[in-house]
Chains A and B, each alone.
Chain A
Amino acid sequence: MKDTLAILAVDDIEMNLMMIRHMLDSLGDVEFLEARNGREALDVLEKRHDVDVVLLDLEMPVMNGFETLERIKSSDAFRDIPVIVLTAEASEVTRTLSMGANDFVAKPYNPEEVKMRVLNHARVKKLGELTRDMNVILEAEVVKKTAALQKALDFSRKAEFEISLRLGRAAEFRDMETGMHIRRISELSKALALLAGISQEDSDILRHAAPLHDVGKIGIPDRVLLKPGKLDDPELQVMRTHTSIGATILSEADEFPVITAGRIVALQHHEKWDGSGYPLGLSGTDIHIFGRIVMIADIFDALISERPYKKAFSLEKAIEIMKEGKGKFFDPTLLELFLDNLDVFLRIMDEFKDKNEPADSERSEFPAPHYLNEFPAA
Chain B
Amino acid sequence: MTCSVKNDTDSPVKVFNRSALLARIGGNEEMIPRFIDMFLESVEECLSKLERAVSADDFDVVTTVAHTLKGVSGNIGADRMHGVAIEMGNCASNGDGKGIRSALAELRDEYALFKTTTCAVP
Interface residues, chain A, CB within 8 Å of chain B? 12-16, 18-19, 22-23, 25-26, 57, 59, 86, 88-89, 107-109, 111
Complex contact B35–A59 (CB within 8 A): no
In the assembled complex, the Cα of A23 lies from the Cα of B34 at a distance in Å of 15
Complex contact B75–A16 (CB within 8 A): yes
* B117 close to A (CB within 8 Å): no
27 pairs from A and B in contact (CB 8 Å cutoff)? A13-B42, A13-B68, A14-B38, A15-B35, A15-B39, A15-B41, A15-B42, A16-B71, A16-B75, A19-B25, A19-B35, A19-B75, A22-B26, A22-B28, A23-B25, A57-B71, A59-B64, A86-B71, A88-B70, A88-B71, A89-B67, A107-B74, A108-B74, A108-B75, A108-B82, A109-B24, A111-B26
**Taking the nearest CB of chain B, how far is it from the CB of A21, in angstroms?**
9
* B53 close to A (CB within 8 Å): no
| One of A14, A22, A59, A89 near B24 (C-beta < 8 A) | A22
In the assembled complex, the Cα of A13 lies from the Cα of B73 at a distance in Å of 12
Task: Determine chain B's interface SS by DSSP, over half rule.
Answer: helix
User: What are the residues of chain A within 8 A of B39 when measuring CB–CB?
Assistant: 15
* B47 close to A (CB within 8 Å): no
In the assembled complex, the Cα of A13 lies from the Cα of B64 at a distance in Å of 13
User: What are the residues of chain A within 8 A of B112 when measuring CB–CB?
Assistant: none
Closest to A15 in B: B38
**Taking the nearest CB of chain A, how far is it from the CB of B103, in angstroms?**
16
User: What are the residues of chain B within 8 A of A23 when measuring CB–CB?
Assistant: 24-26
User: What are the residues of chain A within 8 A of B76 when measuring CB–CB?
Assistant: 15
What bracket does the count of chain B residues touching chain A fall in? Answer: 20 to 34
Complex contact B64–A18 (CB within 8 A): no
In the assembled complex, the Cα of A57 lies from the Cα of B74 at a distance in Å of 14
Complex contact A13–B72 (CB within 8 A): yes
User: What are the residues of chain B within 8 A of A25 when measuring CB–CB?
Assistant: 26
Decide: A111 near B67, CB < 8 A? Known: A15-B39, A18-B38. Answer: no
**Taking the nearest CB of chain A, how far is it from the CB of B19, in angstroms?**
12
| One of B35, B38, B64, B77 near A108 (C-beta < 8 A) | B77
Closest to B71 in A: A107
In the assembled complex, the Cα of A18 lies from the Cα of B41 at a distance in Å of 14
* B31 close to A (CB within 8 Å): yes
Closest to B17 in A: A108
